[in-house]
Each structure stands twice: as structure tokens, then as C-alpha cells.
Amino acid sequence: MRIWGGAAQKLGNVDKQEYKVKCKIATPHPLWSLGSESPIVTVEIELQGNVKVRALPALSLIALPREAGQRREEYWAPFSLNDGKTTTEWATLTTAEGKGSFGARVLPFDLLWARAKSSVWPSQRFLGTIPPGEYRLRLQLDTGDDKRFLSNEIKVSIQR
């Protein structure tokens, strides 16, 4: 079940307990200019329920098609909730007293990226990977129990 706009999503059983996940993303500047400072993206993840789950957060950019029927390229960049930097490690998210909140400030130009529909782990710089254009930006949170949670979407424009 996917609910857009940062709404809470219910997840099945983890140790026989149900939990909810709410993901939000924001950026003060939706116009990104390559060759300038990296924009800042803030992410927030809220968990409700007594939970200990492996998770991998990532930024996702989905190209908006210019013409009907045009294929949409999608890119992803996993990051650490501890420091907002590229990671290859899954994090363990644990709630205390049934609630947990996690967040990070992420600099997209500093992350390593790759096409989403590829077997290649992200290892390329933003500038050499993602062409200029209009994109939908969102946070995706993959969990060790094969679930994916999505945040609200923000339209961003990437220019040279």
C-alpha cells in the first residue's frame, strides 16, 4: 500500500507487531543549477509501534516526460541517516516507547547515483549521471522485510 503526500503507511508484521511509517521530504530550492552549490534536501522518517527494522533510505529522481509515451528515467542515491552521506550499509531503526523519529540533511550533488533499474550499485557523481530536465524528487525507504515506503514528491528542475 502506497500513500502519497507523506501520509502514514501501515506495514505488516515485524516480530508479530504492526507498525506505521511516515516519510517526508523538503527542499527550499526546487531549481538546481549544476556547477553551483548543492541544494539541501531534508528528510524525516517517523515510526510508530515497537519496532527494530533494517532500512535503507535513498533519494529518488524520476524524469518527467517531455512527450507522451516517452520513457521516464529514474535514478537513486542511498544515504545514511546519521550524516546524510552516501552509504552502502543498511541502518537499523529502533523505536523507543513505541515512537521513533529519524532525519537527515542531504546534499544531492555530493551523493553517488545510478539508474534505478540496474543491477549496478550507485557509484557515479550527480553531474555525470543525471541530465538537465524536470524531475520528481522523493524519499524511498526500503526495509529488510521487502517493503518500500515513499514520501511526498517535489518537482525539481535541474539546469546546467
Neighbours of 37 (CB within 10 A): 10
How much is the pTM? 0.84
| DSSP E strand boundaries for 49-98 | 52-63, 74-78, 91-94
pLDDT confidence of residue 108: 97
- Asked if the structure places residue 3 within a domain, the reply is no
Poorest-confidence range of 2-11, 119-128, 132-141?
2-11
Report the alpha-carbon distance of residue 121 to residue 102 in Å, rounded: 24
Q: How many helices (H) and strands (E) does the chain have?
A: 1, 13
Report the alpha-carbon distance of residue 18 to residue 12 in Å, rounded: 6
User: For 94-133, how does the pLDDT look when each residue is reduced to its tens digit (9 = 90+)?
Assistant: 998 889 999 999 999 999 999 987 778 999 999 889 999 9
For 64, the domain range is 9-159
- Asked if the structure places residue 99 within a domain, the reply is yes
User: With 80 as the cut, is the pLDDT of residue 2 above it?
Assistant: no
Number of structural domains found in the chain: 1
Contact call for residues 56 and 90 (beta carbons, < 8 A): yes
Chain centroid to Cα 14, Å, comes to: 22
State the CATH number of the domain containing residue 68.
Answer: 2.60.40
Poorest-confidence range of 10-14, 36-40, 43-47, 57-61?
10-14
Angle, CA 49 vertex, CA 1 and CA 80 arms, to 5°: 75
Report the alpha-carbon distance of residue 105 to residue 44 in Å, rounded: 9
- Asked if the structure places residue 1 within a domain, the reply is no
